[in-house]
Each structure stands twice: as structure tokens, then as C-alpha cells.
Structure 1
Amino acid sequence: MEAEYYLQKYEFFLFEFDDVLYPQKDYLLQVYYLFSQFIEYAEQKDSIEILEFMKISFASDGHFGIFDRTMEHFSLDEKYKVNFELLMKNVRLPLKLLLFDELLRFLQSIVDSGKEIFLMLSGDPVIQLNKIRQTEWNGIETNLTVYFTQEFGKQSIEANILTIFDKHGIIPQKALFLGHSSHANLITPCSRINYIDAVKLLD
């Protein structure tokens, strides 16, 4: 019902990507798997043990710094950081990334209603482009207008959103931004940006 309400109320929909349209761990865990396989080949270390460590490390401490933690735990040469970073940017995933079912249905409803969808990608544009190219979009990819926030320079998430709206002459009141819970405190009422945590559509 909530999805129908938003569909009737707004004309334009702007989505963040990671952990909004799909679970980012689906990308990261496949990178970790392939990296562990590479290390087993290069150093004759058990890939299963490496992968298990990286999974636990990710669950407890997140992705940031995971190579350093893995390097220290398994006494790896720092030279392998280059290989890890290349995998992050250029990996060919064994499995395509799948959108959350509810968000996919909502996206399809937006397309069917003839309204516009914008995708806002934060972080390294090379990594983000690699992700969207390996996402199963079920045909809606031709209806997406994609922006990489790094191209806007260093500015707030509010400024990024308003920059996208300005490029298309969109009045904020007619648009809805669907983001992550971490965005809640970064968007102020005076910006006139309509924001919801996308997880609301997963209930």
C-alpha cells in the first residue's frame, strides 16, 4: 500500500544504490571469495579459511580496512593490496546482483506509470559502474538516468540531490528520494527534499 501511495503522490523518484536497491554484501562477498581463491593459488593458503575470516571481519567491522585485517591475520604481503583493489573495480562476478524483490516491483510500477527514475551512486565511479553493469535489472535499465556523485565534486548529499533535480528542472516537492537509514540525519526540512528510508518498502 505504501508503494502505491508514493507512486500516486510523486512524479520523479531518485534512488541511492548500495543497500537501498540491493544488498551491497552480495558484491563484496563475491570479491572476497575470488580474492581468497587468488591467495590460495599465489600463496598456497587455505581459501576457505581466508574467506571465512573475511566474512566474519566484514560482519563485525565492515568493509573498510578489511584487506589490512586479512593481511595481518594471514601474514600476507602488502603487494596483494593492488590485486584486491583491482578485483573491487574490475571483478566479473560469478553471480549477478539481484535487486530486493519489493524494490524491483516498485521500480517496475514506476516505469509502467511513465514516471522518471534517477539513480544516484556514491563512491568510486569505476566500482559503482561495475556493479550496475552486473545487476539484473529485468529490463528497467533503459529507464534509468544515472549520476555519479563524485562528478559533482565534494558536496553534501542534499546538494547532490538538488544538483540532480536542477539538471532536470524538477521541483523538490514533486520528487521522492529513497535512500539508506544513514541519510536520515543528513537531510534537513529546509531543503524541501522528500526522503524515505527504502527499507519501508521491504516490510
Structure 2
Amino acid sequence: MMFPEEKKVYVFELDDVVFPKKDYLLQVYYLFANFIEFTETVPAQADLVQFMKNHLEHQGENLLFEHAQQTFGFDQKYKENFERLHVNAILPLRLHLFDHIDTLFRQLKAADKHVCILTKGNPLEQLNKVKFVDWGEYGDDIKVYFKDELVFGGIDPLEFLANEFTVDTTAIQFVD
């Protein structure tokens, strides 16, 4: 594939662009359900995971904990554990790049283009995801930036990336 000469830096979001966010969430739900079953003995881990998976697929992440808590009757006090797992879970499985992203990264590397991640959301949770992505041969070449941290610091992400890679802002291509 040919890439425009004027584009030097390709910027990707993490969730659902580089890898399926669902792969991360389902592992978090598995770990949480395992914790609940171990702590409370009920519900069965498989039942809670299935409920959470169905909720994610049909209603999204919003109010997932509350609906599970109401359905299965476990204590509200576990919400903190649920939220903490999103930020610092040690996943049992690696997160894999979408096949087309793996191919695109390979092509960009061959074309001598810079690749980076500019991800939004809780920086600690996003960093945890980054740690579990199987970056393969690109691991040493990809820099990760956290949009929320930049914006909170009053820094324009586009200008920041242009300075970081010493290019004009027009040389940056966002991929989503």
C-alpha cells in the first residue's frame, strides 16, 4: 500500500481501533465473577460472566455493575472492586491486534512512517490495556500518549504530537 509522502505520523486510538475493547472487558468480567464466586460462593462465576457478556453486547457498559448486582443480589460494596479491576487487572490472556491493524502497522513500518497511540479515557485503565496488548514486532516502535492527560494539562494533542515528532500538524494522519 502506498502512503502519502506528506503524512509522516499515523495516530491510532486504542479501543476498538487497534484491538477489540470487548476482549479486555470480558477478561475483567471473568476476573470479577471469579472474585464474587470465591468471596460469596454465589452466583456461579459462569452465570455472572454470561450475564455481563450479554449486557455488554445488548446494552453496553453503562449500569452493567448495577444490573448484575440487582439480578444476582451481591453487595453494592463490590462496586469498588469492579472499578479497580478495570484499572489494574492482571489479565489471563494477551490482547491481540486486529488483523488489519497488524498488516497496516507492518506496511507503515516498511514505509518508514511513525506510529503512535493517542488514547482517551482513564489514563490508568488505558495504560493497563497497553501493558496487555501483544504488540509483536512493533512494541519498541510505538509511543503511547493519553489524550485526557494532555487536555487536562491545557495541551493541544495535535500540537503536542507535532512537536514530539518534529513535524508540521499537516503531516499527522489520525486513523479511526
Please report the TM-score for the alignment, with normalisation by the length of structure 1.
Answer: 0.79
1:109 maps to 107
TM superposition shift of 1:108: 1.7
Q: Aligned letter for 2:173?
A: L
Q: Aligned letter for 1:122?
A: K
1:80-119 correspondence runs (5 A)? 80-119=78-117
* Cα distance in 2, alignment partners of residues 54 and 132 from structure 1: 23
Q: Deviations over 1:50-101 (max 9, x none)?
A: 1111011111111132111111111121110111112111111111000001
Percent of aligned pairs with the same amino acid: 32
Q: Unaligned regions of 5+ residues in structure 2, if any? A: none
Question: Which gives a bigger RCO, structure 1 or 2 (Cα 8 Å, sep 6+)?
Answer: 2
Q: Unaligned regions of 5+ residues in structure 1, if any? A: 180-203
Q: Contact 1:125/1:150 (CA < 8 Å) preserved in 2?
A: yes
Identify if the C-alpha distance between structure 1 residues 161 and 69 changes in structure 2 by more than 3 Å, giving closer, same or farther: farther
Match of 1:23 among 20, 23, 32: 20
2:9 maps to 12
Match of 2:160 among 163, 170, 179: 163
Q: Aligned letter for 1:96?
A: R
* Cα distance in 1, alignment partners of residues 6 and 165 from structure 2: 19
* Cα distance in 2, alignment partners of residues 6 and 55 from structure 1: 39
1:27-176 correspondence runs (5 A)? 27-45=24-42, 46-154=44-152, 159-176=156-173
* Cα distance in 2, alignment partners of residues 9 and 162 from structure 1: 17
SS in 1 for 2:157: helix
Identify if the C-alpha distance between structure 1 residues 83 and 135 changes in structure 2 by more than 3 Å, giving closer, same or farther: same
* Cα distance in 2, alignment partners of residues 161 and 137 from structure 1: 24
Please report the TM-score for the alignment, with normalisation by the length of structure 2.
Answer: 0.90
SS in 2 for 1:26: helix
Q: Deviations over 1:91-147 (max 9, x none)?
A: 111110000011111112212222211210111111111111111111211111211
Q: What CA RMSD, in Å, does the superposition of the two structures yield over aligned residues? A: 1.9
SS in 1 for 2:17: coil
